[in-house]
Amino acid sequence: MIHTRVSELVGGTPMLGIPVRAKNSTLMLKIEKNNPGGSMKDRMARSMITSALRSGRLKRGGVVVESSSGNTGIGLALAVMDFDIRFVAVVDRHAAQDKIEIMRALGGEIRYVEGDYAEDEVAVVARQCLAAELAESIPGAVFMNQSDNPANPAGYAELVREVVAQTDGRIDAFVGCVGTGGSMTGIARGLKEHNEWTVAIAVEPVGSIIFGRPGRPYYQSGTGTPQGDTVGQVLDYRSIDKGVQVTDSQAFETARYVARHTGLLVGGSTGGAIYKALEAIHTGFVSGNVLVVVVDGGEKYLHTIFNEQWLGERGLLDPQVAADLKRWLA
Ligand SMILES: Cc1ncc(COP(=O)(O)O)c(C=O)c1O
């Protein structure tokens, strides 16, 4: 079938099953990096735009403003094209530079938050404030506010349908990253509607405050809620069976290991989810078909998590992670 719009290419992503033979289980990787904007966020971005248009809050020819670490912004830059809408992304220096350049290449306007933030510090509160201010001051502008926007979790309904079809409805567990909580809530709820026994494990970076642990800066991009920010209203804790934390080293070393051993380039947050999924399979907490969504691809992080010097200078190299993975996948 020949499509006429790039937006029609969102979804329909493939699934890769990696056997974990010792535990009679399979790591099911839903390759969301194959979406046109390179992440699962293309789905929720389109959902937020169409929902705002349907409600009348946003008009064709209007302006959309969003605070984004990059992937939501890329998804929005794509989604607005069909409706002649201008897109303004509010970013901080924590965002991967390549993601910002992609947004710009797609016609997005970039606004950096002012202020002196360390590179492992997310200026998310400042970003939200500036986005809200811009939406107030630009005529016809709407702040998408993904953390509190119900169209964010709702945007994953089709992903759930695809997963159910691809696995004949047999998903025993879902291990997902949690930032706004939109994907975790949307996917976990959807899978549980299909099979109420599906176990949902939410993974946040060490230093993120979603599960009540102490906050401190972390390098994982796009995931977690940093200290000073409030957990998104879209996160439904009832959809989660267990909240766990992953270190930056575990996340990044896993992404490097997966690249070297499978040929699949995944981003850092996905590396963290894969590490925790394999750990949960290894300890017997879950078994069977265990779903992890490949949120985005490693191509967006070649200068950071796939660069040994960058990792070494920040003390993020840890050979123990590869040893764990080798044992778990043996
Ligand atoms: C790379 C990456 N991982 C994880 C997440 C978290 O997803 P969610 O906001 O659905 O919790 C995001 C969100 O922007 C992301 O960009």
Note down pLDDT in tens along the chain; length 330 residues.
899 999 999 999 999 999 999 999 999 999 999 999 999 999 999 999 999 999 999 999 999 999 987 899 999 999 999 999 999 999 987 778 889 999 999 999 999 987 766 665 667 788 889 999 999 999 999 999 999 999 999 999 999 999 999 999 999 999 999 999 999 999 999 999 999 999 999 999 999 999 999 999 999 999 999 998 889 999 999 999 999 999 999 999 999 999 999 999 999 999 999 999 999 999 999 999 999 999 999 999 999 999 999 999 999 999 999 999 999 999
**304 and 184 inside one domain:** yes
**166 and 139 inside one domain:** no
Alpha helical stretches, state H, 56-122? 71-79, 97-105
Sign of the four-CA dihedral 194, 233, 201, 30? positive
**298 and 206 inside one domain:** yes
223 pocket-lining for ligand 1 (C-beta < 6 Å)? yes
Out of 100, 122, 148, a domain closes at 148
Residue 76 lies in a domain: yes
Decide: helix, strand or coil at residue 71: helix
Measure the CA–CA gap between 292 and 10, rounded to whole angstroms. 19
- Tokens 């970013």 appear where? 91
Question: Can you tell me which atom of ligand 1 is nearest the CA of 268?
Answer: 1
180 pocket-lining for ligand 1 (C-beta < 6 Å)? yes
Do the beta carbons of residue 185 and residue 205 sit within 8 Å? no
Q: Tell me how crowded residue 311 is: count the other CB atoms within 10 A of its CB.
A: 20
Residue 204 lies in a domain: yes
184 pocket-lining for ligand 1 (C-beta < 6 Å)? yes
73 pocket-lining for ligand 1 (C-beta < 6 Å)? no
Determine whether 172 is exposed, middle or buried from the number of CB atoms within 10 Å of its CB (0-12, 13-18, 19+): buried
159 pocket-lining for ligand 1 (C-beta < 6 Å)? no
**171 and 306 inside one domain:** yes
Domain of residue 89, CATH code? 3.40.50.1100
| pTM of full prediction above 0.85 | yes
**132 and 169 inside one domain:** no
Strands 15-20 vs 25-30: parallel, antiparallel or unpaired: antiparallel
* d(CA 222, ligand 1 centre) in Å: 5
Out of 128, 148, 168, a domain closes at 148
* d(CA 245, ligand 1 centre) in Å: 15
**30 and 46 inside one domain:** no
Out of 130, 148, 166, a domain closes at 148
Measure the CA–CA gap between 6 and 294, rounded to whole angstroms. 20
**286 and 301 inside one domain:** yes
For residue 205, the surrounding DSSP H or E stretch is strand 199-205
pLDDT of residue 125: 81
Question: Can you tell me which atom of ligand 1 is nearest the CA of 182?
Answer: 10
Q: Name the residue with the closest Cα to ligand 1, atom 16.
A: 222
**144 and 284 inside one domain:** no
Structural domain containing residue 144: 41-148
Edge-to-edge, what's the strand order for the sheet holding 15-20?
15-20, 25-30, 289-293, 173-177, 199-205, 242-246
Please give the tally of structural domains in the chain: 2
**263 and 203 inside one domain:** yes
Residue 132 lies in a domain: yes
Joined tokens for residue 10 = 């969102």
**307 and 240 inside one domain:** yes
Q: Of 105, 103, 86, 106, which is closest to residue 95 (Cα–Cα)?
A: 103
Q: Name the residue with the closest Cα to ligand 1, atom 13.
A: 222
67 pocket-lining for ligand 1 (C-beta < 6 Å)? no
Question: Can you tell me which atom of ligand 1 is nearest the CA of 269?
Answer: 3
* d(CA 54, ligand 1 centre) in Å: 25
**202 and 294 inside one domain:** yes
47 pocket-lining for ligand 1 (C-beta < 6 Å)? no
Residue 320's contacts (CB-CB under 8 Å, 6 or more residues apart) are none
The string over 105-138, giving b where at least 16 C-beta atoms fall within 10 Å of a residue's C-beta and e elsewhere, is ebebeebbbeeebeeebbbbebbbebbeebbeee
**298 and 232 inside one domain:** yes
